[in-house]
Structure 1
Amino acid sequence: MKRSEIIVAVVDGLGGGIGKSLVEKLKKTQPDLHVRALGTNSEATGRMLKAGADDGATGENAVVVNAGKARIILGVVTILASGGLLGEITPDMARAVGESDALKILIPMERCRIKLPVEGAPVSQYLDRAMDLVADEVRRLTE
């Protein structure tokens, strides 16, 4: 598989801040991957597009359809939870992300009220580690 054929979906909502940061880091570390911004609202999608996403779409159907097309999905841990992101993640969105064959790389957030058994670290360290995991998966897909 060519690197340009690998779709990395970044799912975010609310203000799109984490999604924006993920897109910026992806485009800096893996510029030849196809980064697709999937926002639960137009503000989130817009911020990710301005950060350099190759394309994007907004809303429940966009997430549901594109989760199945992605090879890698990035977002905060609550994209797997119905009602996540202050209610912006619908049951169908959570199910589509969870059932996707894509590798899911999820960022823990203290305010999500989900505790992961990992050492508490600044979000920036989780974002950097997410880029390492993307690189590992891209190597696996292109071998």
Structure 2
Amino acid sequence: MIIAVIDGMGGGIGAQIVSNLREELPTYIDIYALGTNSIATSSMMKSHANKGATGENAIITSVKKANIVVAPVSVVMPNSMMGEVTCGISTAVAECEALKVLLPIMPEDVEIVGLENKPLALLIKDCIKVIKKEFNIK
């Protein structure tokens, strides 16, 4: 099984996701760190992802192989993350066959109603619960 974690900017959110996935899930699960820039990829790799790749083409190619994609919801919004998310990235993520577990971390000008405002740590725990339930992982 492959979990692709996508992040941009400094990669801090992605690094926390990778670290928590590594702690909570079995070691046979591969975690791919996919950064919109090299700093994000490097940050996620330091949290013990199995593989890392950077940039639009790497993300487009890698999400096709993934069973699960974990990222902030802004990854499906072209030009988000200060322009780091290209139209190609957002389309590839939206159209890939993987289960998409998107954390409700949005750009400043986007508001999704009906969401509970939770700290990042709790969002990541919820993310892991969804993955465990969906793929029957104990």
Please indicate the TM-score interval, normalised by the length of the shorter structure.
over 0.9
| Cα distance in 2 between the residues matched to 1:104 and 1:110 | 16
2:21 is matched with 26
Contact 1:78 1:112 in 2 (8 A): no
Which residue of 128, 131, 137 maps to 1:131?
128
Q: CA deviation at 1:137?
A: 2.2
Alpha carbons of structure 1 residues 133 and 92: separation in structure 2 relative to 1, 3 Å: same
Quick one: percent identity of the two aligned structures?
Answer: 36
Aligned residues: 135
Deviations 1:70-128 (A, max 9, x none): 00000101000100111100000000000001111111125443323211111211111
Which residue of 105, 109, 119 maps to 2:105?
109
Q: CA deviation at 1:138?
A: 2.2
Alpha carbons of structure 1 residues 112 and 138: separation in structure 2 relative to 1, 3 Å: farther
1:92 is matched with 88
1:46 is matched with 42
Q: What stretches of structure 1 of length at least 5 have no aligned partner?
A: 1-5
| Cα distance in 1 between the residues matched to 2:63 and 2:25 | 20
2:8 is matched with 13
Q: CA deviation at 1:31?
A: 3.5
RMSD (CA atoms)? 1.3
Q: What's the TM-score once normalised by structure 2's chain length?
A: 0.93
Contact 1:41 1:58 in 2 (8 A): yes
Q: What's the TM-score once normalised by structure 1's chain length?
A: 0.90
Contact 2:73 2:102 in 1 (8 A): yes
Q: What stretches of structure 2 of length at least 5 have no aligned partner?
A: none
| Cα distance in 2 between the residues matched to 1:113 and 1:77 | 13
Match of 2:70, as an amino acid?
Answer: L
